[in-house]
Structure 1
Amino acid sequence: MPINLQMPALSPTMEEGTLAKWLVKEGDEVSSGDLLAEIETDKATMEFEAVDEGTIAKIIIAEGTDNVKVGEVIAIMAEEDEDVADAANAKTASASPEKAPEPQQEAVSAPEATASPVGENKPTAPTQTAAPSGAQRIKVSPLARRLAEHKGVDLANIAGSGPGGRIIKADIDAAEGGSAPIKSAAAAPVAVTAAAAAPAPTANDFDIPHTSEKLSGMRKTIARRLTEAKQTIPHIYLTVDIELDKLLKLRSELNATLEPRGIKLSVNDLLIKALAVSLMQVPKCNVSIDGDQLKTFARADISVAVSIPGGLITPIITSADTKSLSAISTEMKDLADRAKDGKLKMHEYQGGTASISNMGMFGIKNFDAVINPPQAMIMAIGAGQKRPHVIDDSLQIATVMSATGSFDHRAIDGADGAQLMQVFKELVENPLGMLA
């Protein structure tokens, strides 16, 4: 009998995704393990593999479709020796009853659709209260409708950002925060009277040359998570200046030794190691808030910020405190390459006990990074620069970088954060200590 291919859950928190690309077409024969499609999640583009053998009878969801719910049927596959046409027709027939109620769910009753903000507009009522046509229906996903009812959001005033103007969950979240696009007066059920005050003009009201690009699932998630982090986490920032000359000298010596093995350590590799060792020496900073509990971790897994097309992802060096520098370097290069290709596995970017973000390669002197929840700290690394610096009570020129730790003040006291920064500074300025 026909096999329903459903939108897979590629991470524990995934509720929907984008069917970015089909790798098969109708009529193709597939075997277990064959790649069927590329699915864009909130973190990466991942491949969807076939489990069974058969023939693709019908593709239900077109590539490029956003907001495909986990579990939704995206294609139908005929089993071996099954007629492909029959399988496709069986799917079409069985899908009709499921989809039939959707227009009724999206339609709004005449009184609700024609409610007027200005009660004196009685003459327009007959036109507005006519039987709902396709243009008068409010297109809204079932999840968005339930959220709107729960939060008291008026769907009639929201311009949907989903396919075909459909209102989706993100629109409801934006409406609750006061940032959702509002339907224009021309699309409103009742015209506003001439006496109504015109809204203040915005940049979008002027003919400014621009390009528009739809936000990817990753960019939407970044926006949501960083907004949530800044609104819910009380950040405390602690900055230290660190001499780099000894670390740069050690790196040069190690790279000369590692060259025959094809390994080249970066400064960031050494800083990852230094942060991991620091967290183990100051365990009060290797923590996470979990409801009304404080978790203290027994190892240091460092999430490393990597810029990729369309956003940012944080692959993880697990047990970085116990790994050699050569192992960290090799693993980091592999993770970064696969991150840029969207090939990371879920466990390789979800988790971590703390993060490090290095913008020194862009010449950034110092910056404050946003904590990546549920972690409780992130280390922001600036550029190493030649600066006047006091060494042994004399003014000299040294290579100095600024490092800023962002700490969740709910979980980490300022004194503990300061101790971590002090240990981190000592390890970077005397790097043999992190190798002992």
Structure 2
Amino acid sequence: MPIEIKMPALSPTMEEGKLAKWLVKEGDTVSSGDIMAEIETDKATMEFEAVDEGVIGKISVAEGTEGVKVGTVIAVLVEEGEDASAIDAPKAAAPKAAAKEEAPKTEAPKAESKPAPAAAPKAAASGDRVVATPLAKRIADAKGVDLSGVTGSGPNGRIVKADVEAAQGGSAKKAAPAPAASAPAAAPVAAASSVEMADETRALLDARVPHSVEKLSGMRKTIARRLAQSKQEAPHIYLSVDVQLDKLLELRSQINATLEKQGVKVSVNDMLVKALGMALVAVPECNVTFAGNELIKYERADISVAVSIPGGLITPIVTAANEKSFSAIAKATKDLASRAKEGKLKPEEYQGGTASISNMGMMGIKSFSAVINPPQSTILAIGAGDKRPWVMPDGSLGVATVMSATGSFDHRAVDGADGARLMAAFREFVENPLSMIA
């Protein structure tokens, strides 16, 4: 009996997604656990696994289709030997792909309904489509490996990381892979002309200037929507302090010397995450969410750390940052940042958090004001530490390493006086770092 495969909800807030790529075709046999497709959510591209066994009788949504609602039938699975013509898949399965999917209603899949998954180990054997994991593709691109000549050792001949690493670098022919798949990347002008522009885009475009037009990714759309929502709905109040870093830098050097044999290195940002976490617990009035008729107060500090990734920004969460050691935070942030850049974070690892920290000091920015990450009420913006004239505790004038930190607060939930107390507590922890490990 045919089984409908529906667009999954890959995160608690996902309402729709982009069916980025099919890794199977009509007539392929799949088993539970086989990777069937790559689905792009607002923050990552995630793999979609089969939960049943059978043969792909019909693909109802073409790859590349955007705005596919959760619950939409994207494919139909039939039992081996079952007649594909018995499938009664909904015709309005997906908005943009319906017209493309009317034509392939033939008996062709039936003729090749019995190939074994390993019958086509070469990547090029699956139509003209390279079947490889996202990580394998990134590594291949970096090494200059032509995936069409790589033998896959994964399920259904899929190319995995080990296959690419074992391949000979420099063999890619980037100008001449499958024309249909690579033409947009090879010719930006052609790609721009193929984009179906909205009327608003045409009205803004100055055709006299050389240009290209590209569709917004799901991530960029989400960033635009959430930040516009934040500035429109949350009245921001900004509070800045200058913080002396010398004692923190000295303690960091001692900690890293102790941890060197373990291969762990604590960054200044790791220590600032801890300081913010402890400050939020010390001033719980800032560790809140405004909920309209209620105020949600949190008893621990889960800090969202802003990480720049290709195409946007993501905020993986260091849970219970107020309770973790510097080394534990260093390990967590390194792991989270690495997997964020590979698009491998789980939704619960970047959705939520009670407050955020954004450090642009490493890029040389002296100070800035960050936009609150809703539904949080607090975000701390960290500038670069540099040598400045400074009045020492004994009243003498000296030189100190100083950074500027600016807190952005949702004034509906956080009063200015409470925000000032948080900034003072943060500065106290940073300038007296031993208090964070006492």
Provide Cα deviations, 1:280-308, integer angstroms capped at 9, x if missing partner. Answer: 00111111111211111011100111111
Partner of 2:9: 9
Letter of the aligned partner of 1:29 in structure 2?
A: T
Are the equivalent residues in 1 in contact too, given 2:28–2:56 (CA < 8 A)?
Answer: yes
Provide Cα deviations, 1:215-241, integer angstroms capped at 9, x if missing partner. Answer: 001101100110110011000000001
Check if 1:90 corresponds to 2:109: no
Please, which of 391, 416, 437 is the counterpart of residue 435 of structure 1?
437
**Structure 2 CA distance for aligned equivalents of residues 424 and 250 of structure 1:** 17
Q: TM-score, normalised by structure 2?
A: 0.74
Partner of 2:420: 418
Provide Cα deviations, 1:288-345, integer angstroms capped at 9, x if missing partner. Answer: 1112111110111001111111111111111111111111111111111111111111
**Structure 1 CA distance for aligned equivalents of residues 81 and 299 of structure 2:** 54
- Shift in CA distance, 285/260, structure 1 to aligned 2, threshold 3 Å: same
Are the equivalent residues in 1 in contact too, given 2:73–2:93 (CA < 8 A)?
Answer: no
- Shift in CA distance, 234/29, structure 1 to aligned 2, threshold 3 Å: same
Q: How does 1:80-229 map to 2 (within 5 A)?
A: 81-83=80-82, 86-87=83-84, 89-91=85-87, 93-96=88-91, 181=200, 204-229=205-230
**Structure 2 CA distance for aligned equivalents of residues 275 and 261 of structure 1:** 26
Q: How does 1:320-335 map to 2 (within 5 A)?
A: 320-335=321-336
Gaps in structure 2 of 5+ consecutive residues: 99-193
- Offset of 1:394 from its aligned partner? 2.0
Q: How does 1:13-412 map to 2 (within 5 A)?
A: 13-79=13-79, 81-83=80-82, 86-87=83-84, 89-91=85-87, 93-96=88-91, 181=200, 204-392=205-393, 393-412=395-414
Provide Cα deviations, 1:23-64, integer angstroms capped at 9, x if missing partner. Answer: 223333222122111111112211211111122223222221
**Structure 2 CA distance for aligned equivalents of residues 387 and 354 of structure 1:** 29
- Offset of 1:213 from its aligned partner? 1.5
Provide Cα deviations, 1:324-375, integer angstroms capped at 9, x if missing partner. Answer: 1111111111111111111111111111000000001110000000001110
Letter of the aligned partner of 1:38 in structure 2?
A: E
Of the structure 1 ranges 55-64 and 416-425, higher mean CA displacement relative to structure 2 is found in: 55-64
- Shift in CA distance, 387/32, structure 1 to aligned 2, threshold 3 Å: same
Larger Rg: 1
| Secondary structure, counterpart of 2:200 in structure 1 | coil
- Offset of 1:395 from its aligned partner? 2.0
Partner of 2:120: none
Letter of the aligned partner of 1:62 in structure 2?
A: A
- Shift in CA distance, 433/258, structure 1 to aligned 2, threshold 3 Å: same
Instruction: Report how many aligned residue pairs link the two structures.
Output: 341
Letter of the aligned partner of 1:375 in structure 2?
A: Q
Are the equivalent residues in 1 in contact too, given 2:44–2:344 (CA < 8 A)?
Answer: yes
- Offset of 1:94 from its aligned partner? 3.9
- Offset of 1:99 from its aligned partner? 9.1
- Shift in CA distance, 247/21, structure 1 to aligned 2, threshold 3 Å: same
Partner of 2:155: none
- Shift in CA distance, 67/274, structure 1 to aligned 2, threshold 3 Å: same
Letter of the aligned partner of 1:432 in structure 2?
A: L
Letter of the aligned partner of 1:370 in structure 2?
A: V
**Structure 2 CA distance for aligned equivalents of residues 314 and 321 of structure 1:** 18
> Percent identity among equivalent residues?
66
Q: TM-score, normalised by structure 1?
A: 0.74
- Offset of 1:401 from its aligned partner? 0.6
Question: Over aligned residue pairs, what C-alpha RMSD do you find?
Answer: 2.3
- Offset of 1:12 from its aligned partner? 2.3
Letter of the aligned partner of 1:259 in structure 2?
A: E
Provide Cα deviations, 1:412-433, integer angstroms capped at 9, x if missing partner. Answer: 1101000000010010111111
Letter of the aligned partner of 1:334 in structure 2?
A: D
- Shift in CA distance, 297/96, structure 1 to aligned 2, threshold 3 Å: closer
- Offset of 1:3 from its aligned partner? 1.5
**Structure 1 CA distance for aligned equivalents of residues 285 and 434 of structure 2:** 24
- Shift in CA distance, 336/264, structure 1 to aligned 2, threshold 3 Å: same
**Structure 2 CA distance for aligned equivalents of residues 15 and 252 of structure 1:** 47
**Structure 2 CA distance for aligned equivalents of residues 10 and 433 of structure 1:** 41
- Offset of 1:206 from its aligned partner? 4.1
- Shift in CA distance, 425/71, structure 1 to aligned 2, threshold 3 Å: same
Are the equivalent residues in 1 in contact too, given 2:76–2:89 (CA < 8 A)?
Answer: no
Gaps in structure 1 of 5+ consecutive residues: 104-162, 172-179, 185-201
- Shift in CA distance, 250/65, structure 1 to aligned 2, threshold 3 Å: same
**Structure 2 CA distance for aligned equivalents of residues 99 and 347 of structure 1:** 27
